[in-house]
């Protein structure tokens, strides 16, 4: 606990000054609990209020910097009641409630607080005129905690019931009903089996801003995901702030894309491609051009994955030894157990490609309107002659950045004409997530 905070107790809560922190639960779910220390709230001159909060994780996370696990993250945040913004001043990573692992002063950056977020709730709480006495405050805190506990219990019950029925709990990011707006989002007709919920991790740049209040589970994700993009406010550096589901975009340790280098040179089994010529559907979903063929599988590592969709990025998201490529096609596959495998076909300016031309010929005139095209495409023709590849474990390259994705990056680029690249550029000038830290992951380089 910092001296500033202790001073704050004495100044504003003289009765509570000698007591231990009073943690009030703001929100909780199976993976974490978010609390605020009522006694830490310090009203500064003007409209600023500083408060100490913490995230207590159910499962510990290994700290990338020190290699040690932590379970508690405390953050001192300064709220501007008039401007409705928040800035993290200090962040402390703890092994448990008392043992400090890492203590970091932050460069305060004021970020807007969106309404309906957890930050919004905390801001309203701390920005109220300070007239309530300590006992009243404590009572209110307990009431709020009780209500939250009840609400969360109800939520957990609902989700468990859903999971038992074989439906995916809401928290699973990879669901067939996820909005089609996600480029690396498979969509399949059959429901996926229940999977384990991914661990929700606090993100790296201010937990309060990222963690939004939990809403009641919706039957599907609908259009609830706030707008994300490749530049400006909705750009990659802010994805984790747009939705709590996107927390891995900031805190994940197995994120994609990466600059592929320093792989181990080994003999890799050939990927067995079984793509049959088929009609397809095509849409410009605002993030990319996405194509849904009918059927097709790959088999690798003794597992068969069904092709669910493919889409494009310009430039290619992945790099190889620092080198970039003009574009890439990501072919997204899913196994029966819901595991994802993405085949990346690097595209490089050269001769015109007939498959790409068929796709471009059939581009819908309007965004978010999917066309069914009876004409057939042969995806075997989109693959390079040499199918040697790099492989590593990564993530979706779009929100919610879900990890556990098997990446298979074909080494030999496939030619597309400059005109074909230019056509895509008219729709999406730049739709590539920047490369992410390899974080010590093993990369296999087929020899």
Instruction: Give ∠ CA 242-244-247 in degrees, rounded to 5.
Output: 95
Active-site residues, by number, are 287
Q: And the tokens for 285?
A: 């979903």
User: What is the x/- site pattern for Zn ion, positions 91-130, by CB under 5 A?
Assistant: ----------------------------------------
Closest separation in Å from C-beta 197 to Zn ion? 24
- Per the CB < 8 A criterion, the answer to whether 227 and 242 are in contact is yes
Distance in angstroms (rounded) separating the CA atoms of residues 220 and 411: 37
In whole angstroms, what is the distance from residue 187 CA to residue 175 CA?
Answer: 7
Q: Which of 319, 273, 288 is nearest to 443 (CA)?
A: 319
Q: How far apart are CA 137 and CA 139, in angstroms?
A: 5
Region 329-348 residues binding Zn ion, contact defined as CB under 5 A: 330
Output the six-digit token pair for 324.
Answer: 């970039």
Query: Shortest Cβ distance from residue 255 to Zn ion (Å)?
Result: 13
Shortest separation between residue 84's beta carbon and Zn ion, angstroms: 35
Q: Least distance (Å) from Zn ion to the CB of residue 9?
A: 50
Nearer to Zn ion by Cβ, of 287 and 353: the residue is 287
Which own/partner contact pairs does 97-106 have at CB distance under 8 Å and 24+ positions apart? 97/56, 97/72, 101/63, 101/66, 101/68, 101/70, 102/63, 102/65, 102/66, 102/70, 106/206
Q: Which stretch binds Zn ion (CB under 5 A): 67-75, 103-111, 120-128, 184-192?
A: 184-192
> Total binding residues for Zn ion by CB under 5 A?
3
Among residue numbers 311 through 330, which ones bind Zn ion (CB under 5 A)?
Answer: 330
C-alpha–C-alpha distance, residues 368 and 34, integer Å: 37
Q: Smallest gap, in angstroms, from Cβ of residue 432 to Zn ion?
A: 9
Is the Cα dihedral 231, 233, 238, 242 positive or negative?
negative
CB of 208 to Zn ion, least distance (A): 31
Does 184 interact with Zn ion (rule: CB under 5 A)? yes
Which residue number is nearest to Zn ion in terms of Cβ? 330
DSSP state letters, 262-293: S-EEE--PPPEEE---EEEEEEE-SS-EEEEE
Nearer to Zn ion, 209 or 327 (CB): 327
Chain-centroid distance of CA 182 in Å reads 12
CB of 311 to Zn ion, least distance (A): 6
Q: Draw the binding track, 278-317, toward Zn ion (x: CB under 5 A; -: no contact).
A: ----------------------------------------
Nearer to Zn ion, 76 or 309 (CB): 309
The first and second tokens of residue 46, run together, are: 């003007």
Binding part of the chain for Zn ion, among 180-188, 207-215, 222-230, 302-310 by CB under 5 A, reads 180-188
**Between residues 126 and 174, which has the closer beta carbon with respect to Zn ion?**
174
Rg for the chain (alpha carbons), in Å?
A: 24
- For Zn ion, give the closer residue by CB, 207 or 305: 305
- Smaller CB distance to Zn ion: residue 183 or 206? 183
Task: Provide the token pair at 15.
Answer: 């009765």
User: Which range, of 17-25, 91-99, 175-183, 356-364, touches Zn ion by CB under 5 A?
Assistant: 175-183
Show the site string, 361-400: x = touches Zn ion by CB under 5 A, - = not: ----------------------------------------
Residue 73 gets the label, from left (phi > 0), alpha (psi -120 to 50) or beta, of: beta
Name the token pair of 195. Answer: 């999977």
CB 389 within 8 A of CB 176: no
- CB-nearer residue toward Zn ion: 184 or 248: 184
Q: What residues make contact with Zn ion under the rule CB under 5 A?
A: 183-184, 330
């Amino acid at each position: 606990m910092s001296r500033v905070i202790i001073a704050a107790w004495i100044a504003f809560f003289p009765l509570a000054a000698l007591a231990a922190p009073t943690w009030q639960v703001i929100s909780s779910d199976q993976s974490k609990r978010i609390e605020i220390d009522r006694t830490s709230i310090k009203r500064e001159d003007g409209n600023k209020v500083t408060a100490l909060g913490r995230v207590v994780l159910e499962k510990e996370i290994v700290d990338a910097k020190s290699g040690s696990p932590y379970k508690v993250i405390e953050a001192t945040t300064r709220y501007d009641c008039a401007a409705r913004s928040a800035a993290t001043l200090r962040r402390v990573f703890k092994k448990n409630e008392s043992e400090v692992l890492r203590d970091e002063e932050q460069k305060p950056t004021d970020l807007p607080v969106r309404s309906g977020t957890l930050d919004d709730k905390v801001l309203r709480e701390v920005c109220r005129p300070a007239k309530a006495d300590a006992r009243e405050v404590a009572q209110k805190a307990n009431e709020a905690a009780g209500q939250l506990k009840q609400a969360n219990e109800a939520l957990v019950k609902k989700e468990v019931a859903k999971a038992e029925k074989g439906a995916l709990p809401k928290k699973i990011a990879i669901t067939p009903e996820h909005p089609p707006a996600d480029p690396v989002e498979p969509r399949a007709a059959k429901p996926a089996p229940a999977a384990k919920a991914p661990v929700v991790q606090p993100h790296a740049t201010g937990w309060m801003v990222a963690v939004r209040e939990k809403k009641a589970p919706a039957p599907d994700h609908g259009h609830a995901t706030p707008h994300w993009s490749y530049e400006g406010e909705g750009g990659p550096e802010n994805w984790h702030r747009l939705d709590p589901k996107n927390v891995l975009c900031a805190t994940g340790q197995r994120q994609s894309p990466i600059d592929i280098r320093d792989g181990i040179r080994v003999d890799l089994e050939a990927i067995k491609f079984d793509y049959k010529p088929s009609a397809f559907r095509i849409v410009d979903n605002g993030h990319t051009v996405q194509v849904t063929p009918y059927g097709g599988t790959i088999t690798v590592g003794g597992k068969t994955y069904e092709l669910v969709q493919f889409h494009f990025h310009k430039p290619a998201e992945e790099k190889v030894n620092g080198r970039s490529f003009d574009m890439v096609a990501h072919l997204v596959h899913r196994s029966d157990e819901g595991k994802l495998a993405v085949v990346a076909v690097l595209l490089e300016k050269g001769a015109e490609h007939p498959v790409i031309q068929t796709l471009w010929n059939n581009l819908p005139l309007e965004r978010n309107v999917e066309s069914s095209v009876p004409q057939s495409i042969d995806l075997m023709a989109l693959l390079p002659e040499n199918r040697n590849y790099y492989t590593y474990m990564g993530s979706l390259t779009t929100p919610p950045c879900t990890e556990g994705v098997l990446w298979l990056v074909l080494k030999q680029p496939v030619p597309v004409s400059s005109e074909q690249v230019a056509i895509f550029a008219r729709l999406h000038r730049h739709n590539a997530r920047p490369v992410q830290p390899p974080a010590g992951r093993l990369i296999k380089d087929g020899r």
